[in-house]
Amino acid sequence: MPDITKTATAPAEETATAVAAAAPQKAEKARSLWGDAWADLRRNPYFLVSSVLIFFLLLIAVFPSLFTSASPTRGDLVKHFLTKPELGSIGSPEWFGYDGQGRSVYARLIYGTRASITVGIAVTAIVTVVGGIMGMIAGYFGGIVDAVLSRITDIFFGIPFLLGAMVVLQAFTDRTVWVVVGALAFLGWTQITRVMRGAVITVKQADYVHAAQALGASTVRILFRHILPNALAPVIVVATIALGGYISAEATLSYLGLGLASPTVSWGVDISAAAAQIRVAPHILLWPSIMLSITVLAFIMLGEAVRNALDPKMR
Amino acid sequence: MGRYVARRLLQMIPVFFGTTLLIFLMVYSLPGDPVAGLFGDKGTDPATLARLRHEYGLDQPILEQYIRYMGDILLKFDFGTQIRSGREITEVIGDAFPVTLRLALLAFLIELVLGLGLGVVAGLNAGRLADNLVLIFTLLIISVPVFVLGFIVRMVFSDQLGWIAPNVSNEELWSELLAPAIVLGALSLAYVARLTRTSMAENLRADYVRTAVAKGLPKSRVYGVHLMRNSMIPVVTFLGTDIGALMGGAVVTEGLFNVKGVGGLIYDSIVRREGMTVVGVVTVLVLVYLVASLLVDLLYAVLDPRIRYA
């Protein structure tokens, strides 16, 4: 069973042997990089914790009404800064108290999830596709194409990310979630391009690529069937970790007043509003900050786990 | 070496012009008119607006504006004037720059010392308790957004414990800048620690380390010289691009601690649509970034004897 040698530490090897003994036919099958990574991931506690968290966050983002019956936008000024949280009544509107407009902090937390998750996932998806294709073209064709694309990447990379996003967003008076997604994606693709270019340059020297070229496979086929699957690992790692960063960036921009704005319910908007009243009612600041940090943490932990699983050097 | 530096400097030229052109286009394609803004809600007659626009050169095609702007900067070191105050932008930047530079340097120092320290401890103890503690600590730091961290530091150290003043005074003492610098540098500190840890843990198994141990060198020399020097390349790469990022990232931190630096200047300029000031500050930041990344590339050769620039 040669595939078990990958595990470095003794206890892990024991469990691997035990698993292999329990299911011998499974272990004997030659595993691909992805199969190997999956086997590694399933044993990683960080991966398990972050997947459970992300599952719940996605559930909240898609079906917020499952978690609260209160409206996030309807305020009742009688409850202005009613801070006494009723921790016994889990999930009820008064659970985390009320904000300055008498709106339920808990309901706003639940409904604010969607904005953050949407921004994170959408920006990552756009950036991975656009940046990935740019990086593949630059890395595979080399020469003048690479020189031009790399300079363009350098140009975008030179602009400080947050400042650039602020300038772009200032142009829009009606800043919806998709405007913020566009602004972050406009400046964020360079990272993926650089990683993909590096990976493609390494992979394209491989014998199977030369073989495919000799057999007369089309460029598109070589790029997508032979190079992409083998150059994808570092891109996935960078993209997963960046996802958390984009969520954080959206909140930061909203906090600065240049991201999402008030009719949209988002944690950043709430934190921004709460910051002005920090001495009166710190609890409004506390809960969205905690939710935000947990969300970013979940995605970054996922990225770290995937990195450990995909990078053979870490073993 | 000389030829490599010359080639890198030549490569920097298109990037410099490209980045400044990009930020110029982004700023000036914004709707909104700083000249009309001068007159508030009441407004003024179109003739005056047109005359002022002509005076600031805002009525010309955008590429022409860019070429003239760059020409002024490069030939006369003239960044233009701030429309709102009528002051020279070089003067405005000159006022705001020193404190941000000090803040960024302090943050840089903190992330260097603490980040490297934590990374080395974790890397040498890979897989053990210290490694896991550092991992958890850095993950927490990375996941708490800067402005939340800033609020926590302010709430705990100024409101509860009273160790620091909530705002930095106009004298901007080093001791006052310490708390904002910690907040500013925290994220990068975590990245430096992670990078150092990964790189150390990888190189710990390298042949040259085994050779050094085998030939009887003391541990301090193996770790301190052989291992450290070779593990620093990814860290130095990160640190190089980070100086510029720290100065740009100061927007949030300076706002939180009321520091009157570049971050606040950029924020005000963006909100007030002072395009000229935004472009000027970003141009300076781009220069800082370009010079830093050149220095990093040259440092590679110092760190890794296998890298030589002909």
Shortest alpha-carbon distance between residue A308 and chain B (Å): 11
CB-based contact B145 A296, cutoff 8 Å: yes
What is the second-level CATH architecture of the domain A57-67+96-314?
A: Orthogonal Bundle (1.10)
Substitution target in B23, B33, B143, B205 with the highest count of A β-carbons within 10 Å is: B143
* pLDDT single digits (tens) B267-297: 888 877 777 788 888 888 888 888 888 888 8
Residue B34 touches chain A, beta carbons under 8 Å: no
CB-based contact B143 A161, cutoff 8 Å: no
Shortest alpha-carbon distance between residue B177 and chain A (Å): 21
Answer for the pair A296, B142: CB distance below 8 angstroms, yes or no.
Answer: yes
Task: Tell me which long-range contacts A40-46 makes (C-beta under 8 A, separation of at least 24).
Answer: A40/A308, A40/A309, A41/A305, A41/A306, A41/A309, A43/A12, A43/A15, A44/A305, A44/A308, A44/A309, A46/A301, A46/A302, A46/A304, A46/A305
pLDDT score for A185: 92
CB-based contact A248 B145, cutoff 8 Å: yes
**How many whole angstroms separate alpha carbon B196 and alpha carbon B229?**
11
Residue B151's Cβ-count burial label (10 Å; 0-12, 13-18, 19+) is buried
**How many whole angstroms separate alpha carbon B108 and alpha carbon B135?**
21
With a cut of 80, say whether residue B264 has pLDDT above it.
yes
Answer for the pair B23, A167: CB distance below 8 angstroms, yes or no.
Answer: yes
Substitution target in A170, A189, A295 with the highest count of B β-carbons within 10 Å is: A170
Domains along the sequence of chain B with CATH: 97-303 (1.10.3720.10)
Residue A89's Cβ-count burial label (10 Å; 0-12, 13-18, 19+) is exposed
Task: Tell me which long-range contacts B37-44 makes (C-beta under 8 A, separation of at least 24).
Answer: B37/B83, B37/B84, B37/B272, B37/B273, B38/B83, B38/B84
With a cut of 70, say whether residue B42 has pLDDT above it.
no
Beta-carbon contacts of B45 under 8 Å, excluding residues fewer than 6 positions away, are none
Question: Got the DSSP string for B43-77?
Answer: ---HHHHHHHHHHHTTTS-HHHHHHHHHHHHHHH-
Residue A152 touches chain B, beta carbons under 8 Å: yes
Answer for the pair A169, A180: CB distance below 8 angstroms, yes or no.
Answer: yes
CA distances from B78 to B75, B85, B265, B266, B269 (A): 8, 16, 18, 18, 18
Chain B residue with Cα closest to A272: B147
Substitution target in A162, A286, A290 with the highest count of B β-carbons within 10 Å is: A162
Shortest alpha-carbon distance between residue A151 and chain B (Å): 6
Beta-carbon contacts of B38 under 8 Å, excluding residues fewer than 6 positions away, are B52, B83, B84
Shortest alpha-carbon distance between residue B281 and chain A (Å): 10
Nearest neighbour of B143 by CB, restricted to A168, A255, A297: A297
* pLDDT single digits (tens) B143-176: 888 888 888 888 777 777 767 666 666 666 777 7
Beta-carbon contacts of A204 under 8 Å, excluding residues fewer than 6 positions away, are A139, A140, A227
**How many whole angstroms separate alpha carbon B92 and alpha carbon B78?**
12
Residue A271 touches chain B, beta carbons under 8 Å: yes
Nearest neighbour of A282 by CB, restricted to B155, B285, B286: B155
CA distances from A227 to A139, A199, A308, B83, B216 (A): 10, 9, 22, 53, 45
Q: Which residues of B touch A292 (CB under 8 A)?
A: 145, 148
Residue A280 touches chain B, beta carbons under 8 Å: no
Q: Give the H or E element holding residue A122.
A: helix A105-141
Nearest CA to A223 among A137, A129, A130? A137
Question: Residue A24, Cβ neighbours under 10 Å: how many?
Answer: 9
The residue with tokens 């904000």 is: A99
pLDDT score for A125: 94
Q: At A222, list the tokens.
A: 């070589």
Average pLDDT for B188-207: 85
Nearest neighbour of A158 by CB, restricted to B29, B271, B286: B286
Question: Residue B43, Cβ neighbours under 10 Å: how many?
Answer: 11
In chain A, which stretches have pLDDT less than 50?
1-27, 315
Answer for the pair B232, B305: CB distance below 8 angstroms, yes or no.
Answer: no
CA distances from B300 to A35, B198, B233, B289, B292 (A): 37, 18, 6, 17, 13
pLDDT score for A123: 93
pTM, entire model: 0.81
Beta-carbon contacts of A199 under 8 Å, excluding residues fewer than 6 positions away, are A135, A139, A231, A232, A233, A234, A235
Amino acid (1-letter code) at residue B308: R
Residue B202 touches chain A, beta carbons under 8 Å: yes
**How many whole angstroms separate alpha carbon B21 and alpha carbon A255?**
28
> Which residue has better confidence, A28 or B266?
B266
* pLDDT single digits (tens) B66-120: 888 788 777 777 777 776 677 777 787 888 888 888 888 888 899 889 988 898 8
HSE-CB at A195 with a 13 A cutoff on CA atoms is 23
Question: Residue A140, Cβ neighbours under 10 Å: how many?
Answer: 20
Categorize the per-residue pLDDT at B179 as very low, low, confident or very high, splitting at 50, 70 and 90.
confident
Answer for the pair A282, B155: CB distance below 8 angstroms, yes or no.
Answer: yes
pLDDT score for A132: 92
CA distances from B57 to B53, B68, B187 (A): 6, 9, 41
pLDDT score for A121: 92
* pLDDT single digits (tens) B56-75: 666 677 777 788 878 877 77
Shortest alpha-carbon distance between residue B3 and chain A (Å): 19
The values of phi and psi at residue B88, to 5°, are -65, 140
CB-based contact A256 B26, cutoff 8 Å: no
CB-based contact A160 B285, cutoff 8 Å: yes
Residue B245 touches chain A, beta carbons under 8 Å: yes
CB-based contact B148 A167, cutoff 8 Å: no
Q: Which residues of B touch A258 (CB under 8 A)?
A: 270-271
The ipTM is: 0.80
Residue B160 touches chain A, beta carbons under 8 Å: no
Question: Got the DSSP string for A239-287?
Answer: HHHHHHHHHHHHHHHHHTTSSS-TTS--HHHHHHHHHTTTTT-HHHHHH
Residue B137 touches chain A, beta carbons under 8 Å: no
Helices and strands: H and E segment counts in chain A: 13, 0
CB-based contact B267 A251, cutoff 8 Å: no
Question: Residue B98, Cβ neighbours under 10 Å: how many?
Answer: 12
With a cut of 50, say whether residue B121 has pLDDT above it.
yes
Question: Residue A308, Cβ neighbours under 10 Å: how many?
Answer: 17
**How many whole angstroms separate alpha carbon A153 and alpha carbon A202?**
19
Shortest alpha-carbon distance between residue B45 and chain A (Å): 25
